[in-house]
Amino acid sequence: MGGRALIQQVLLVDELQQWVEQYRSKASEGKCASYIPALYRTDPNQLGICIIEPTGKMHMAGDWEAPFTMQSISKVISFIAACCYHGIPYVLDRVDVEPTGDAFNSIIRLEMNKPGKPFNPMINAGAITTSSLLPGQTPDHKLRYLYAFFSKITGVTPTVNEEVFLSEWENSHRNRALAHYLKDTGYLACEVEDALEVYLTQCSIEVTTEQIALIGLILALDGFHPMRNEQVLPKDVVRLAKALMLTCGMYDASGKFAANVGLPAKSGVSGGIMTLVPPNRKPHSPLQDGCGIGIFGPSIDGCGNSVAGVSLLKHIAQEWDVSIF
Ligand code: DON
């Protein structure tokens, strides 16, 4: 690596470390998700980031190695997996692509809009439907398909945090209500308890910021895995997933996130955010070849998004000029 490039890489990490420490204290403006007891026990002051460039170069700072469960970030993977198996039209017959502006677990629009098709795959109603569409007759088969899919993208065999799974399984009354409603209207492709088992297990897959940054990178490059030099996901499916991340990925804060950060992103209640910078031609941006970004900051706001994570991303977007707009 040339001297100038090396200096730039070092500067990026220096800046990242400084910004992580600057935004760590933002945790006090939110709290860890309390409706899943196992998540509430997490140290709220953690903040970590991992950025991966197409060359494989990684920039890491803070608690980037801390494991956390994917939660709603998994909705992107299951949606892509269902589209790859069935084709886009089949999936979009069963789940729409419209933002709601409602909370991620809201029930209200299912009954207000006949015939009750879930609005998008990033909210719980749409994600439970997507999980039910994964191939296989049993939760085990559906999950095996999803695990294989996850491994194909990340190169890592997924592990499930059983404590988080059980903690949510026992407290999932609202998701059960959503699934029963979807079963009644004919949108659920399997039994209620089976769909919930798949959905809550995928939410409990443990990752670090490195894995979600890698997935983000592959999405940034329209499904191309640059280190393996292989198209691992179809371009049309990835483009659709990115449009959904931009319009619905941060729930009822998606508009603000698009305005303030300007990147497709998906959050989870455990405090993860998966986002990406597509290759761009901005001469002053250090990330003009694109990158994937993984963030972990478990203290979340009322919309379910990491408080410190969103602040850090807003700062990065401004300083490094990475907004897609
Ligand atoms: O269904 C739930 O409530 C969780 N397992 C996932 C929700 C979630 O991550 C929403 N995110 N911000």
Whether 237 is catalytic:
no
What letter represents residue 219's amino acid? Answer: L
Report, as an integer, the average pLDDT of 174-203.
Answer: 97
Report, as an integer, the average pLDDT of 52-57.
Answer: 96
Report, as an integer, the average pLDDT of 164-188.
Answer: 96
Instruction: Tell me: cis bond preceding 158? Omega within 30 of 0 counts.
Output: no
Hey, whose CA ends up nearest to atom 4 of ligand 1?
71
Domains, the chain: 8-67+208-320 (3.40.710.10), 72-205 (3.40.710.10)
Q: Which of 57, 196, 84, 94 is nearest to 150 (CA)?
A: 84
Task: Give the DSSP H or E segment for 294.
Answer: strand 291-296
Q: Which of 293, 249, 221 is nearest to 77 (CA)?
A: 249
pLDDT score of 11 more than 80: no
ipTM above 0.90, yes or no: yes
Ligand 1 atom with least separation from CA of 267: 12
pLDDT score of 185 more than 70: yes
Length of the chain: 325
- Answer whether 266's CB lies under 8 Å from 273's CB: yes
Confidence of residue 13 (pLDDT cuts 50, 70, 90): confident
pLDDT score of 229 more than 80: yes
Per DSSP, helices labelled H in the chain are 3-24, 37-40, 74-86, 88-92, 108-112, 124-133, 139-154, 162-169, 173-185, 192-203, 209-220, 235-248, 254-260, 307-320
Q: What is the largest CA-CA distance in the chain?
A: 63
Tell me, using a 6 A CB cutoff, whether residue 269 lines ligand 1. Answer: yes
Question: Which residue among 36, 72, 172 has the greatest number of ligand 1 atoms within 8 angstroms of its CB, and so is best to mutate?
Answer: 72
Q: Which of 324, 229, 235, 214 is nearest to 279 (CA)?
A: 324
Question: What does pLDDT average to over the chain?
Answer: 95
Q: How far is the CA of 227 from the centre of ligand 1 (A)?
A: 31
d(CA 295, CA 276): 11
The model's pLDDT over 113-166, given as tens digits with 9 standing for 90+, comes to 889 999 999 999 999 999 999 999 999 999 999 999 999 999 999 999 999 999
Q: Which of 18, 14, 42, 13 is nearest to 30 (CA)?
A: 42
Q: Does 97 or 11 have the greater pLDDT score?
A: 97
The model's pLDDT over 231-252, given as tens digits with 9 standing for 90+, comes to 999 999 999 999 999 999 999 9
Q: How far is the CA of 167 from the centre of ligand 1 (A)?
A: 13
Whether 132 is catalytic:
no
Q: Which of 207, 234, 254 is nearest to 82 (CA)?
A: 234
- Measured CA to CA in angstroms, residue 7 lies from 10, 69, 291, 321 at distances of 5, 34, 19, 19
Confidence of residue 61 (pLDDT cuts 50, 70, 90): very high
Q: How far is the CA of 168 from the centre of ligand 1 (A)?
A: 10
Tell me, using a 6 A CB cutoff, whether residue 71 lines ligand 1. Answer: yes
Does 199 belong to an annotated binding site? yes
Q: How far is the CA of 35 from the centre of ligand 1 (A)?
A: 10
Ligand 1 atom with least separation from CA of 251: 12
d(CA 210, CA 294): 6
